[in-house]
Amino acid sequence: MRDFIHPLAVTLAIATLANAGETLPNGIVLPDNWPPRIEALSREPMPVPYLDQKPDVVPIDLGRQLFVDDFLIETTTLTRTHHSTRYHPASPLLVPDKPWEEEFMKGKYRKATSIVFGDGVWYDPADKLFKMWYMGGFLKNTCYAISKDGLCWEKPQLDIVPGTNLLLHQERDSATIYLDHYEKDPSRRFKMFTTVPRPEGDGFKPAIYYSADGIHWGEPLIIGGGIGDRSTIFYNPFRNRWVYSIRSLIEPWGRSRKYMECTDLVEGLRNIAEQSCLWLTADRLDPRHPNPALSDKEPQLYNLDVFPYESLLVGLFSIWQSQQSGIEKRNEILVGYTRDGFHWHRPYRRPFAGVNEVEGAWNWANVQSCSSGCLVMGDTLYFYVSGRGRTGEPASTGLALLRRDGFVSMDAGVQEGTLTTRRVTFSGRHLFVNVDCPAGLLRAEVLDADGAVISPFTKENCVPTIADSTLHRIGWKGAEDLSALAGKPVRFRFHLTHGRLYSFWVAPDVSGASHGYVAAGGPGYTTPRDTVGQAAYKAAAPLVRGTLCPDVGAAPR
């Protein structure tokens, strides 16, 4: 029997013969023919070319360096562990309690609804507020809520429909709201990609809106042709491109995704039919329905939301696992990672944010992600997700929590393990780690390009770390900082016992600012990147402890 060859693998092999193209901040060189053109989708996991042909040297000036794959690892005796979120005990945080949140689209069953269905939750540093855009009413209305701490949400009365928090009082499906810190035109600071009813009354068309305040949107700038109803957008800051993540029904795979990148959303939507290309579908490793009577159904890729986090892009994959007639869909969120913006590494196929099939659970079915990804709250990442009760019961929005950088850890037991990075370069001065070893020990050393330890950056000179900290500086006796090694290809070797190592980075100053991306932001961050380090932890501390909303309780680390 012949070995299966993924159609994309052929495309990649041809592409590597082309001249080198764009170089990304992490050293990955894209082929000239970009994005790749896939002839057919496949149930085989997607090939990831940058893991097979890694750069000789990896620049690490941009962001914390996570161990979600082997891109940064040369050798290790540590064990990789993947982690899921856990729901905040106060979930759901946003429930349908207004008359307009009980409206429903004509011809659809009634369900009181207050959910992020794509949409967005952002921290706006201009107002020092958490802002949420959500679906209010089943397939009806786009609404707005605000919070001072991300836990207690208020539905303010606005002037669009007086006495309500309605922004767009019309039928809709999925939406994406983006706070664009890079936009030079203040009237376009907020961007919305959503769906509007077809004039013919049979489904939706995609539309783009702009807004100065995220509240007053006016008329759409463009209404495009028909595309799938759970389509979203994201911004890839590593390449300065907008990307349309287009939901498509592609037989025999069912719900799948197409890809289209652009520099202008309006022009992109205008050309989406001609310029989009095949991208992804659910593969053979994705989970099936646990009910044996439904497990014969192939899973489908219901949605893909993407956001920049530190030095890479994280994907939230909503995997559809079939449904019984008249009963809510079983969608769960899985996680994946990409370093080039197109090819996905998906080593973990358990739910990142799953359903809870217990009677009365707010997330009994159909868990869906928020387009903006997560907010960074000191030691903790906040993921706002929606869930639905049993058929006919309310649909609401909850909060899932994860340790900062906590997607993957490299673990050691009582016996010391090591991790040696591949050759990296940096311009910073101070080595930082995210590590959990209060009962163990972490030490580090620096090796030259030939693998020899560089004095005084030896294991023996390293100040031992015994701590549980998401922002910890490593130091060596006899050296003030790493400035003598800046610009030189070196390797870091970490020695760990009884602990977990989540990430490392070299910061320009002792604040620990990584200069990586912080997704939807958080208290203390003034830009889409971490330029403040420890100051953001201090800004988030009183909010994470729940001092503004003590009945909710503290978010765990």
Task: Output the domain CATH number for residue 293.
Answer: 2.115.10.20
Q: Tens of pLDDT along 425-468?
A: 999 999 999 999 999 999 999 999 899 999 999 999 999 999 99
Please tell me the distance from the alpha carbon of residue 117 to that of residue 231, in angstroms, as a whole number.
10
Please tell me the distance from the alpha carbon of residue 469 to that of residue 307, in angstroms, as a whole number.
24
Q: Tens of pLDDT along 309-357?
A: 999 999 999 999 988 777 789 999 999 999 999 999 999 999 999 999 9
Residue 257 lies in a domain: yes
Q: For residues 215 and 231, is the Cβ–Cβ distance under 8 A?
A: no
pLDDT the model gives residue 391: 77
pLDDT the model gives residue 548: 37
Residue 550 clears pLDDT 80, i.e. is over it: no
Residue 258 lies in a domain: yes
Please tell me the distance from the alpha carbon of residue 241 to that of residue 333, in angstroms, as a whole number.
25
Residue 478 lies in a domain: no
Q: For residues 186 and 212, is the Cβ–Cβ distance under 8 A?
A: yes
Handedness of CA 336, 337, 342, 343 (dihedral sign): negative
Residue 18 clears pLDDT 80, i.e. is over it: no
Count CA atoms closer than 13 A to 263's CA, side-chain side. Answer: 2
Q: For residues 34 and 14, is the Cβ–Cβ distance under 8 A?
A: no
**How many separate domains does the chain show?**
1
Residue count (the chain): 557
Residue 105 lies in a domain: yes
Residue 5 clears pLDDT 50, i.e. is over it: no
Q: Tens of pLDDT along 367-397?
A: 999 999 999 999 999 999 999 998 778 999 9
pLDDT the model gives residue 369: 98
pLDDT the model gives residue 107: 67
Q: Tens of pLDDT along 186-213?
A: 999 999 999 887 766 566 789 999 999 9
Enter the pTM of the model: 0.94
Q: For residues 513 and 505, is the Cβ–Cβ distance under 8 A?
A: no
Confidence of residue 552 (pLDDT cuts 50, 70, 90): very low
Residue 420, sorted as left (phi over 0), alpha (psi -120 to 50) or beta, turns out to be beta
pLDDT the model gives residue 545: 64
Average pLDDT, the chain: 92
Across residues 111-138, what is the average pLDDT?
Answer: 96
Residue 9 clears pLDDT 70, i.e. is over it: no
Q: Tens of pLDDT along 208-259?
A: 999 999 999 999 998 888 788 899 999 999 999 999 999 999 999 999 999 9
AA identity, residue 504 = F
Residue 436 lies in a domain: no
Domain range for 98: 86-403
**Total Cβ atoms within 10 A of residue 128:** 11
Residue 41 lies in a domain: no
**Percent of the chain predicted with pLDDT > 90:** 84
Across residues 124-130, what is the average pLDDT?
Answer: 97
Across residues 516-526, what is the average pLDDT?
Answer: 98
Residue 368 lies in a domain: yes
Residue 319, sorted as left (phi over 0), alpha (psi -120 to 50) or beta, turns out to be beta
Across residues 73-98, what is the average pLDDT?
Answer: 97
Contacts of 511 (CB under 8 A, 6+ apart): 532, 533, 534, 535
Q: Tens of pLDDT along 251-294?
A: 999 999 999 999 999 999 999 989 999 999 999 999 999 999 88
